[in-house]
Amino acid sequence: MRFLRSLLLCSGLIAAASSRVLKSRQSTTVSTWVTAEEPLARAALFRNIGSKGEFAKNVDAGAVIASPSTSSPDYFYQWTRDSSMVFKVLLNSYINGNSSLNTLLREFATESDKLQRTSNPSGGYQGAGIGEPKFLVNGTPFTGSWGRPQNDGPAIRATVLIKFANMLLDAGETSYVTSLLYDSLYPSNSVIKNDLEYVANYWQANGFDLWEEVAGQHFFNYMVQQRALVEGAELATRLGDTGAATWYTTQATAIKAALPNFWSSSKGYLLSTLNTGRDGLDCGTLLGALHGNGARGFGIYPASSDEVLVTLQKLVDVMNPLYPINAQSGAPGIAIGRYSSDVYDGVGTSTAHPWFICTFTVAEVLYTAINQFAARGSIIVSSRSLSFYQKFYSSATATTYAAGSTAYANIVTGMKNYADTFIATGQAHAATNGSLSEQFGRSDGLQKGARDLTWSYASFLTTKWARDGATAY
């Protein structure tokens, strides 16, 4: 009894303390906070890149540590997915004028080549081994049991390196590109072509999802694979590898034709995995809409599509009642986790928490949708998306609203304010020095799991850029 009373007292104190924190943080507007956080996130991201990063000194050049945390949890490894997400951000900064990143991007290409050639538990070079998800920081294989293979990483890596290769070709650096990046040989000795061959040959095989837990066919994977193959076919054409271009295009077309299988008409949202035992609502689906389309779009499930926006809202609706911090007075918005039945607490399995990546990703999808409306000059409301848009403009009907109309302006303002509440939620749980871990406590809001998660910083940066109107990657 006394124990219970002190427990209640104690949790009351925690609640009071964290709502004070929430209030003081809220005095900084989202705009002010994202501006201050950008250089901090950039610096934090660089600390995790080998070999010059402060936390990655004895790490291969061009390797990205997922986090400096070496125990509880041990994230001192390089994951193809995380590294590629991080280098996507660096490539974007390079495009925007930071020429010193050229060396770093080449180091990433060299390290990728080394990892591909390393026989590992998934298999060997020029074959199944390309699907190995995780390596030691010196490039040697991780041999413990793991959810392998994971076939999203090679696709995301290819997307990053294809864009880099095109820039180098524009600059006349053909021999570097054709020796290391894309050689038109089969079997290939080059990084991009090995990734593309892997994706083209293995996309139909079961692989683990981006959360490394379930084997099957995943929306996120299909989206990033389709994009890699379309862009890969264009690079192959540019370099005269016409047979490969045809093969990649055929496979991309097949993936595109299979993507609608993820739409569940009975549930009214996109499933993250086919034939899943879960509810299928997953932050990975939103990541797929972003990373499978980028700035350009491939005509299927962009952020602004009805299917993605209604899935986003359903995910928010299941996350809202799940975490006590969402009901806390002064909470600036709704914290989002990976999926509702998640039990990974960042160290082991108990109850899962919201993630910075997922909370920011909801905002990023909303901002990206707004940017896509602006590029198109209209918002198309259909019966499927009507209830989504009515949240922001109650008199919306299923019609097309042109830019400049009152309805368009109301929807855009409402969506932007809504997106900002997700940023504000991340803001409330970020450290004052800008640090972002993997998760933040469902009840106490405190950072949990791997500290300084490199992908959390990458996710913040692309979200911030989308808020600024850029279609960043």
Of 66 and 196, CB closest to ligand NOJ: 66
CB 283 within 8 A of CB 337: yes
Phi-psi map region of 452: left, alpha, beta (phi>0 left; psi -120 to 50 alpha) = left
Binding pattern to ligand NOJ, positions 234-263, x when CB under 6 A? ------------------------------
Q: Which residues of 9-38 are buried (b: 16+ CB within 10 A; e: fewer)?
A: eeeeeebeebbebbeebbeeebeebbeebb
* Region of 346 on the Ramachandran plot (φ > 0 left; ψ -120 to 50 alpha; else beta): left
452 is catalytic: no
75 binds ligand NOJ (CB under 6 A): yes
Residue, CB closest to ligand NOJ: 344
Residue 267 near residue 311 (C-beta atoms within 8 A): no
Tokens of 187: 């079997």
Nearest to 379 by CA among 306, 457, 310: 306
Alpha-carbon torsion 379, 385, 389, 395, what sign?
positive
Scan for tokens 């593309």, then name that residue: 196
Give the amino acid at 73: P
Known active-site residue 420: no
Among 64, 81, 111, 464, binds ligand NOJ (CB under 6 A): 81
Q: Which is nearer to ligand NOJ, 75 or 301 (CB)?
A: 75
In this complex, which beta carbon is closest to ligand NOJ, that of residue 241 or of residue 282?
282
Check residue 287 for interaction with ligand NOJ (CB under 6 A). Answer: no
| Contact residues for 215 (Cβ-Cβ < 8 A; gap 6+) | 147, 206, 207, 208, 209
Q: Does residue 64 belong to the site contacting ligand NOJ (CB under 6 A)?
A: no
From the list 135, 164, 247, 344, which residue makes contact with ligand NOJ (rule: CB under 6 A)? 344
Question: Which of 212, 234, 279, 306 touches ligand NOJ (CB under 6 A)?
Answer: 212
Binding of ligand NOJ by 66 (CB under 6 A): yes
The overall longest dimension of the chain from CA atoms, in Å, is 78
Residue 79 binds ligand NOJ, judged by CB under 6 A: yes
Residues 87, 105 contacting (CB under 8 angstroms): yes
Give the distance, in angstroms, between the CA of residue 55 and the centroid of all CA atoms in the same chain: 23
Residue closer to ligand NOJ (CB basis): 18 or 437: 437
**422 part of the interface to ligand NOJ, by CB under 6 A:** no
What does the per-residue mask of binding to ligand NOJ show for 446-465, with x meaning CB under 6 A?
---------x----------
Please identify which of the residues 209, 241, 342, 444 carries the catalytic annotation: 209
211 is a contact residue toward ligand NOJ (CB under 6 A): yes
Site string for ligand NOJ, 291-330 (x = CB under 6 A): ----------------------------------------
Q: Is 87 in the site for ligand NOJ (CB under 6 A)?
A: no
Stretch that binds ligand NOJ, among 8-16, 109-117, 207-215, 407-415 (CB under 6 A): 207-215
Catalytic residue among 113, 212, 234, 306: 212
Which CB, 134 or 464, lies closer to ligand NOJ?
A: 134
Burial 184-204 (b: 16+ CB within 10 A, else e): eeeebebbbbbbbbbbbebbe
Residue 356 as a binder of ligand NOJ (CB under 6 A): the answer is: no
Q: Alpha carbon of 350 to those of 141, 318, 437: distances in Å?
A: 29, 19, 18
Q: Which residues bind ligand NOJ (CB under 6 A)?
A: 66, 75, 79, 81-82, 210-213, 344, 349, 455
Q: Which residues are catalytic?
A: 209, 212
